[in-house]
Structure 1
Amino acid sequence: MALRLPGQWVWDSWFVFDGQKHHAFYLQASRGLLDPNRRHRNVTVGHAISNDLKSWTVVADALAPSESPAPDSWTTWTGSVVRDEAGLWWMFYTGTSREDAGERQTVCAATSPDLITWTKVTNLPVAAADTRWYKTLAAGFDNEPFRDPWVFKLPGQSEWTMLITAGSPKANSRREEAVMGVAKSKDLINWQIQAPLGAPGQGFGETEVFQFEIIDGVPILLFCCSSQWISDERKAAGEIGGVYSLPVSADLSDVDFKRAVLFPDTSLYASRLVQDTNGGWNLIAFLNNVNGEFVGELCDPIPVTADPVKGLVPKV
């Protein structure tokens, strides 16, 4: 497998290429916890480097929770990495705090000159759910989903876009509340929260780990959803959850999750699209449940392409 650690489970990951080598950042937790469900609250962000997306050298961990009080005093969850115009690397990640009993999720950030040593920015968080459009604790909900920030620039735009896992306060039920949170920034530190894309009631209770890429000319929105959060209609069609893709317009003006397509390999979860040095696109995800047991390791890169109707498909 691409990345299996003897002492840690590995799950959600995100990748960046520095011009010479690929860097993987990933959530990890000790296998000594015994119960894989405990990993979510006992997590750090690991870091490994590769020439080929297959053989990885583990280096020093990138991030760990802050001391209380802080928005990331309990966990440092899934994120993404970009490089600004001055050459500084920015990691955006999800924080939860002990002060909020872990129920409030916000977007935090750290910077690095070399992708190795990371310094958290001051005045965290950099983005949080707005009660006008998203579920919040302040509005009386029992949790505040606002996580998995994917930061990038849409084609032809100079400002940065952030896509976020979020929940709508207008949903009829928990299993219908998923929307895609959106924020915009000109400088990566000051973010303006915007109305979500998609709408509640489009087939999902959670849409996690977003990514936008143009794959062989087809704009694709990638996300995942576990079995307990997919609609009865999708379950009736035989779906059990996993990795989903959604063909969209290049400006994200037509996001309708009802058109999302399940990727064939349902043992995978929290996938990323990663371009190799030859320009080909690959899917990398963690192996989730196999034969009823959690695996917790990253798969080898799976070459993929995209179809305007079928979405993301294995390349043959």
Structure 2
Amino acid sequence: MKAAGVSPDEVTMATVISACAHLGALELGRELHQYALLNGFDLDVYMGSALIDMYAKSGSIERALLVFYKLAEKNLFCWNSVIEGLAIHGHGKEALDMFHRMKKAGRIVPNGVTFVSVLSACAHAGFVEEGRRMFASMIRDYSISPEMEHHGCMVDLLGRAGLLQEALDLVRSMVMEPNAVIWGALLSGCKIYGNLEIAEAAVEKLMVLEPNNSAHYMLLVNMYAEANRWGEVAMVRGMMKGRGVQKRGPGCSWIEMDGAVHEFAASEMFHPSSDEICLLLFGLDGQLKLAGFSPESDFDSLT
């Protein structure tokens, strides 16, 4: 577009900044931010919310907050972006404080997206009572019908807190049919607290919804192994073999540093800085042990 001699406007800038957010391309996003400032673009609510979202999703919550506080006008999208950004970075209390500040402003009415971020913040921070209040307030005070995402956050919140029966009751009370994310969140809570009874119920549903997803089977295998129920371990493995379920490849992630994108895959040592990374991890492991941390046992040999 620039090569064709067409000048971008605010809509263009908001769109390409949003593209950077989806890619996690922090350096390019910063360049676009600088371009907008140097070329006299007004930091309106659309570009502002895009910048907040981009910085937050790219790992720079401090810059996201800086943009937010500099905005002369803030609409619902700006508030939602900053609340979500705080939530995904584990700042649960700050996310809730921001939500209450939005309500005190008086002009902005939260929507379903707002409550997804708020409930997610409660889940990650372990604020069970606050999460229950928010879920009830969403329905009672704002007439927002809970969607799949809201139920998922609540199941995650209750599961992390060990309230697995309450989480199961919530799932069974849903108006819509629970999806694999809902049952997966419940299964994760069962893994943390070793609740095999509810885990079996969750896996039974997941085998129907995602019959070829090996992760659900293997999580149940690990739970059976932890309980020394080796007969069930063999049964689930036999079920996987009979259904042709293949174990997934290793998980991978990407991070951008100094303009270069680095890829990391589980259990691989091909990155040029692998030795330095391992040395740092060993050092952190030693510090954790000195602090009295006892890691959860896993079953790498089984998985």
Per the normalisation by structure 2, the TM-score is 0.25
* Relative contact order higher in (CA < 8 Å, ≥ 6 apart): 1
Q: Which has the higher helix share?
A: 2
Q: Which has the higher strand share?
A: 1
Per the normalisation by structure 1, the TM-score is 0.24
